[in-house]
Amino acid sequence: MRIGIIGSGALGLYYGALLQRSGQDLHFLLRRDYHAIQKDGLKINSPNGNFHLPKISGYQNAAEIGPVDLVIVGLKTISNHHLINLVKPLLGANTAILTLQNGLGNEELLAAEFGAERILGGVAFLCSNRGEPGVVHHLGEGKIHLGEFSCNGSQRSLKLAEMFQAAGVPCQAINNLRRARWEKLVWNIPFNGVSALLVKDVTDILSHPLNKKLIRDLMIEVITGANAQSLQEPIDAENFSQELIAFTETMDHYRPSMMLDRMAGQALELEAIYAIALQKAKQAGVEMVRVEMLYSLLAIGEQNRQNIEST
């Protein structure tokens, strides 16, 4: 399968490298890593085994990639205003688009431009960070749940799941993409936000009883907002929140992406992870007051960053 990767960060490079290693035909739209990868290839450091791909098909312009069978979108949502123009040159008559981005609204954006029938969404449970150019550090996890945007299931989603599985990625085709999106937010909203505000990793956050309680309270609030979305199957707040906290306690000093972005002075994915979720919950009659406070504090930090950049 000819596959184009739009958004070759830690996620796009990691999954793309595994797919290429398994025999798929990968084409990466690259930015900061372009020259390093063209010169030395792509290196993945992983507890599952390090490996190096000496030759990568990398491009600085999406138009150079041309039509593919599948577009995988790993672009950060802060760059979604570029997304449509980046994807257009990769489309053929039957090209499918799979977005693995964080938050809500990404499938809707792509469907409005390219048609809902092309669009799949995926939720990636991946712990990975960028290293020096041309290097990705996979710290753990990596499973993907993916499904159709416009229907509950398809042979296409099953075949894509099989493709990822053959590449060594635990992957499951699901029938309820909307529920999976909200389940990911149950982790992303508290841990990304609190880690960015405190500049503390997940281990440091959970080691403090009051912070741990805050994380749990935020999770319960997000689940309440999720269950107001007329999900086919509601999320069990008590058990699911406990499971996520127990899982996170195994993530030894993992630094969420929003914490890294704040430390680097980069923009945060507030719209997709917070603003849209708050809006949808409010429309369903649920006020997520703790989430709204967290969003407000993060937004103040963003305004301060923008003010500094403009001076």
Would you name the residues annotated as active-site residues? 184
Task: Please check whether residue 14 is in contact with residue 136, taking contact to mean a CB–CB distance below 8 angstroms.
Answer: yes
Written as six digits, the tokens of 5 are 């990767």
Residue 52 CB neighbour total at 10 angstroms: 14
Cβ(6)–Cβ(73) below 8 Å: yes
Tell how strand 42-45 and strand 51-53 pair up: antiparallel
Give CA–CA dist 268/240, Å, rounded.
26
- Full 3-state SS string of 51-80: EEECCCCEECCHHHCCCCCEEEECCCHHHH
- Tokens in use for 232? 């086919």
Helix %, strand %, coil % for the chain, to 5?
Answer: 50, 20, 30
Supply 21's token pair. 């290693």
Sort 122 into a burial class: Cβ within 10 Å, 0-12 / 13-18 / 19+.
buried
Cβ pair 203, 191 in contact under 8 A: no
Q: Which helix (H) or strand (E) holds 178?
A: helix 177-198
Q: What is the DSSP string of 133-175?
A: TTEEEEEEEEEEEEEESSSS--HHHHHHHHHHHHTT--EEE-S
CA 73 – CA 83 distance, rounded (Å)? 9
Q: Residues 274, 196: contact at Cβ < 8 Å?
A: no
